[in-house]
Amino acid sequence: LNKKGLSTCIQKATEYIKENLSATLNIEQIADACFVSKSTITKSFKKELKISVHEYINQELMLKAGVMLESGNMSILSISEKLGFSDQLYFSRRFKQHFDMSPLKYRKSRSQ
């Protein structure tokens, strides 16, 4: 266990997720990268981080989307594509679920 109390497996998994962050990222890829089974990674996430792998990926995606929206003039379409979403509408819906506002509103609220 490291100083944050996370196992090597979870540390590796969270690093892998950050480096390969995409809406298309799945548990199989993460498990393979950490040389463990899908059930091991699933159980470890729940136990150590108290959220599912899917929720963790979604959180990271939304945080990154927020940073991208704040830090410039990249279009919402470009951001959604860069994060691996198949369409901008789906990205916007997921973003709104997370932040309680649309990507456009979020950008405007941050640029004042």
The span from the first CA to the last CA of the chain, in angstroms, equals 42
| Predicted model pTM | 0.89
Torsion of CA 50, 53, 58, 63, to 10 degrees: 60
**What distance in Å separates the CA atoms of residue 74 and residue 42, rounded to the nearest whole number?**
34
pLDDT of amino acid 32 = 96
Range 25-54 average pLDDT: 95
For the chain, what percentages of helix, strand and coil (3-state, to nearest 5) are there?
70, 0, 30
> pLDDT (tens digit, 9 = 90+) per residue, 53-107?
999 999 999 999 999 999 878 999 999 999 999 999 999 999 999 999 999 999 9
